Amino acid sequence: MKPRVLEIRQGVFEKNDLLARDLRARFEAAGVTVFNLVSSPGAGKTLLLERTLTLLREGGLRPAALVGDVATENDAKRLARSGAPTRQIVTAGNCHLEAGMIGRHLEGWPLDDLDFLFIENVGNLVCPAHYDLGENARVVLLSVTEGEDKPLKYPPMFHSADAALITKIDLAEATGFDRAAVYEALESVRPGIETLELSARTGQGMEAWLDYLLRVRATSPLAAFASPAPGGEGTGA
Amino acid sequence: MHELSLAESLIEQVERAVEAAGGGHVTALQLSIGALAGVDAAALRFGFDVAAQGTRLDGATLDITLLPVIIHCPSCDAGVELPDIQHFRCPRCGTPSLDVRQGRELTIETVEVLDETPSP
C-alpha cells in the first residue's frame, strides 16, 4: 500500500511561542518589565540578582524574581534575603525554562504590584536560547573567567540576547581577560548588542546596569527573540 | 540537551495532526532544522527513536533538511545566505544585519501515513 502524504507545516516551538505571547500580554497589562537572565553555570547570575533586587528596593521600586534550577532551592533562599518576592522553579532535570512553567509559577502572584520581574534561567548556554518567556529583554552574562570566544561557541544564545553583561570585572586583570576579543566576538554574533561590564561583588558598573533596567522599563522594547505575532513574518530582530 | 523533549513535542504534534486527518501509521517524517535553531540532528534522531516507541510514529524514518541562515541585507536590499552562524554580516558587502529571514525554525513539514489495516 502506498502511504499518503500529509502536509503539517508546523513549528515545534509554536506551543511555547503561543504561551510566551500570552505572558507578554499579561506582563504588559500589569505594567511589569521582565528580564530573562541567561548564562553558563557560575557566571554570577544569582549574586547579580541578589544585589539588583536589593538596590531596586532601596530605590523604592518593586522587583521580584523567578529562579530556575535543575535540582535545588538554594538560589531562591539566597534571593529572598533581599526582601523581594522570590519563587523557585525546580525543573527536575529539564535544562531550560519554558513559557508554560513561568505561567504556572505566577499563579497567585499580584503582578500589578510589581515593577520588575527577573527570571533567572537554568545555567546553560544552549537550550534556553530557543524558549521565549515573554520577556522584555534577554540578558546574557559572561564572566571574565570564561573564554573570550564563548559568543562564537554558542551563537544561538548570544545572537538571541538583547544585552550582554561581562561579569566579575574585578577579576579581569588577574585572569588576563582580553576585552577586545570579547567585544569582537559579541559584535560578530550579535551586531550592535548593548554591553555592560560589572562586578556585583564590588559594585563596579552596577549603576549603569540599573540605568539600563530603567531604560528598558521606560521604553518597553520588544525583545529580539520575541516570538512573531500569529501569521506574521519573523521577528526581524 | 533538550532534543528528547523536542522529540516528544514533535511526536505529540504529529499524532494530533494525523488523528485529525483520519489516523494511520506514520512511516516517514520530513523536518526542517534551521542552523540557528540550535538543534542537534543526531541527538534529535536518537530522541525521536526512543520517544516514538509505542506511538503511531514507531519506526518512522526521519528525513531532516538543514536550512542555512538567511539574513536580509539592508545595503544590498536582498536576502543573503550566511556561510556560518558566527558572523551576522552580509557576505557580499559586510553590512551587519540582525534581520533573520530563515534559520531559526524547527518545522514539521510533511508526514507519510499508511492506513491501518482494519482489525478482523
Q: What is the pLDDT of residues B30-46, one digit of tens each?
A: 999 999 998 999 999 99
The answer to whether residue B85 sits within a structural domain is yes
The answer to whether residue B24 sits within a structural domain is yes
Contacts made by residues A183-187, CB under 8 angstroms, sequence distance 24+: A185/A148, A185/A149, A185/A150, A185/A151, A185/A152, A186/A151, A186/A158, A187/B96
Mean pLDDT of B70-99: 97
Q: What tens digit of pLDDT does each residue of A29-57 get?
A: 999 999 999 999 999 999 999 999 999 99
Q: Could you tell me the pLDDT band of residue B17, with boundaries at 50, 70 and 90?
A: very high
Q: Is the predicted ipTM greater than 0.85, yes or no?
A: yes
Compute the mean pLDDT over every residue in chain A, rounded to the nearest whole number. Answer: 92
What's the pLDDT score for residue A73? Answer: 79
Contact A6/B at CB under 8 A? yes
- CATH number, domain containing residue B97: 3.30.2320.80
Q: Give just the sign of the alpha carbon dihedral B42, B47, B49, B50.
A: positive
Nearest chain A residue (CA) to B95: A191
Q: Out of A8, A155, A159, whose CB is closest to B14?
A: A8
Q: Inform me whether the pLDDT recorded for B1 exceeds 80.
A: no
What's the pLDDT score for residue A93? Answer: 76
In percent, how much of chain B has pLDDT > 90? 90
- Range of the structural domain that residue B67 is part of: 3-114
Q: Which domains does chain A have, with CATH numbers?
A: 14-219 (3.40.50.300)
> Distance between CA A91 and CA A120 in Å, rounded?
12
* Set of chain A residues whose Cβ sits within 8 Å of the Cβ of B100: 234-237
* Set of chain A residues whose Cβ sits within 8 Å of the Cβ of B101: 234
Reading the block at residue A19, the C-alpha cell is: 504561551
What's the pLDDT score for residue A177? Answer: 95
The answer to whether residue B88 sits within a structural domain is yes
Q: Inform me whether the pLDDT recorded for B118 exceeds 90.
A: no
Q: Give just the sign of the alpha carbon dihedral B76, B82, B87, B92.
A: negative
Interface of B with A in 11-70 (CB under 8 A): 13-14, 17-18, 21, 24, 27-28, 36-39
- Match 492506513 to its residue by C-alpha cell: B115
* Set of chain A residues whose Cβ sits within 8 Å of the Cβ of B2: 94-96, 126-127, 130
Mean pLDDT of A183-199: 97
The answer to whether residue B120 sits within a structural domain is no
In percent, how much of chain A has pLDDT > 70? 96
Q: Which of B79, B64, B73, B77 is nearest to B95 (CA)?
A: B73
Query: Cα distance from B58 to chain A (closest Cα, Å)?
Result: 15
Domains of chain B: total: 1
Q: Inform me whether the pLDDT recorded for A235 exceeds 50.
A: no
The answer to whether residue B119 sits within a structural domain is no
Q: What tens digit of pLDDT does each residue of A60-98 get?
A: 999 999 999 877 778 888 888 899 999 999 887 788 999
What is the DSSP track for chain A? Answer: -PPEEEEEEEETTHHHHHHHHHHHHHHHHHT-EEEEEE-STTSSHHHHHHHHHHHHHHTT--EEEEEEESS--HHHHHHHTTTS-EEEEE-TT-SS--HHHHHHHTTT--GGG-SEEEEE--S-SSGGGG---S-SEEEEEEETTS-TTHHHHSHHHHHH-SEEEEE-GGGHHHHT--HHHHHHHHHHHSTT-EEEE--TTT-TTHHHHHHHHHHHHHH-PPPTTPPPPTT------
Interstrand relation of A116-120 and A63-69 (parallel, antiparallel or unpaired): parallel
